[in-house]
Amino acid sequence: MFMINIPARYAHCVHPYPVRHRHKVPFRPRVSVPPSLGERASHIIALDRRLDRFVLTEPDYFRLVQEAVTSNLHISTQLEGNPLSLEQVKRLTRDSLQGRTPTSIEPAQREILNHLAVWFMPGELRIPWGLSSLQQVHASLMTGVDPGAMPGQLRSKPGAVYSDKGEELFITAPPEHIQTELEGLIDWVNRESQAMWPTVAAAVFFHEFESIHPFEEGNGRTGRVLFHAYLQNSGLANAYRCRVEAELIRDPELYYLILGWTDYSDSYTELVDYFTEALHRSYLNAVTVYRKKDVTRKLDETELELVRMAKDAPSWFTLKDAAKFVPERSEQTIRNRLNELAEMQVLHSIGNTRARRYRFADPLADVRARMRREREAVPTQRSPAAIPSSGRRQSFNRT
């Protein structure tokens, strides 16, 4: 059915179609990993920590994060038919992160804005999850985008995934099993997944979520957002800096083949190998990019100590606060170093002379604070179950 070049390591994954979802309640996946996976998975954790140690000027950091997020969102939404170009998504992302939104918002633009509102708030999806957590993510992503997706409501009709030619590729979980299976998957995430490498558990979760296909539309988009949230809340806090989707879906046909093979064979070995390799490539690329912009080589030991303090400080700090952290330096030396860091745009500063205060220049902190304020200003939304259905006929994309 697919005419693709399959790497030798995945040659055995060719399978007949359609593939049928396997009922798994309780969800207790048997995961056997390749011998080399542990080394790659641990290296990803080390690379995540390395990303956290780089010090960039605020403009460079903002640009690199924006480029990674734009790449991920464009690929994820384009798979589902979003017509916006990469440049259009980039412009919309940049304007949104700077607090500007279009006066008139089309559904394609709304989809990107919805993703950004969830993407930059991973802390709101800390584990443990509940069924309502997944429903609310779907509602947040789909509201104002596709009423046929029935935002936040679980699928109520049988469904299947089709190729572009209309060929039936996958038969999803029957609607009467969806809630039970999702609850079993969530129970596994909350109770058992944390014992695995983050890349392994995130891949297993994503596959099972897609296999259940709990919503009318938007399963792929919701699953990918949850996949990233899982990584960021399970030891890979800097995954948002990586162009993960570009590596995962480098070869879309192989990507779908691996997902189908996992259902067909009930083997997760190839899936976790594929996902871990893709994540490893994305982290290696990100480290290479961030290293080129790292300014730590330009800083002396006092400046490095002050940057470390600033990154850990919960809010603005004063010269006296900094002097307690670096007691072996005079206040004048510390003041000079702080002002130099502010001129480099590594620190923010406000006020003058003794009243001057400083903080680490993290543009995402301002973005998240603004998003929280905007969310608090909106009246409490109805629960996902209360969102009315449009009555549109069942239709599925491949993801």
Provide the pLDDT for residue 137: 97
Beta bridge partners of 170: 19, 161
The average pLDDT across 41-48 equals 98
What tens digit of pLDDT does each residue of 55-84 get?
999 999 999 999 999 999 999 999 999 999
Lookup: tokens for 105? 């918002």
Which pLDDT band holds residue 381 (cuts at 50, 70, 90)?
very low
E-only strand ranges, 342-389: 347-350, 357-360
Provide the pLDDT for residue 236: 97
Provide the pLDDT for residue 378: 62
Centre a 10 Å sphere on the Cβ of residue 196 and count the other Cβ atoms it contains: 19
What tens digit of pLDDT does each residue of 244-296 get?
999 999 999 999 999 999 999 999 999 999 999 999 999 999 999 999 999 99
The average pLDDT across 20-37 equals 92
- 96 contacts 116 by C-beta, under 8 angstroms: yes
Q: Is the pLDDT of residue 398 over 50?
A: no
Radius of gyration of the chain (CA): 23
Centre a 10 Å sphere on the Cβ of residue 24 and count the other Cβ atoms it contains: 18
Q: Is the pLDDT of residue 141 over 50?
A: yes
SS3 state of residue 110: helix
Provide the pLDDT for residue 147: 81
Whole-Å CA distances, 121 to 174, 232, 351: 32, 10, 30
**Which of the listed CATH numbers 1.10.3290.10, 3.40.228.10, 3.10.150.10, 1.10.580.10 matches domain 14-293?**
1.10.3290.10
What tens digit of pLDDT does each residue of 213-257 get?
999 999 999 999 999 999 999 999 999 999 999 999 999 999 999
Provide the pLDDT for residue 233: 96
Whole-Å CA distances, 213 to 57, 76, 102, 145, 175: 42, 16, 32, 19, 9
Under CATH, what is the fold of the domain 299-364?
A: Arc Repressor Mutant, subunit A (1.10.10)
Which pLDDT band holds residue 395 (cuts at 50, 70, 90)?
very low
Q: Which of 9, 88, 97 is nearest to 274 (CA)?
A: 9
Provide the pLDDT for residue 279: 98
- Rounded CA separation 38/226 (Å): 23
Q: Would 14-293 and 299-364 be classified into the same CATH topology?
A: no
Average pLDDT along the chain? 91
This prediction's pTM: 0.91
Domain spans, the chain: 14-293, 299-364
What tens digit of pLDDT does each residue of 155-214 get?
999 999 988 888 899 999 999 999 999 999 999 999 999 999 999 999 999 999 999 999
Residue with tokens 């948002």: 240
Provide the pLDDT for residue 316: 95
What tens digit of pLDDT does each residue of 313-368 get?
989 999 999 999 999 999 999 999 999 999 999 999 999 877 899 999 998 888 88
Say which residue, 372 or 105, is predicted with more confidence. Answer: 105
E-only strand ranges, 261-309: none
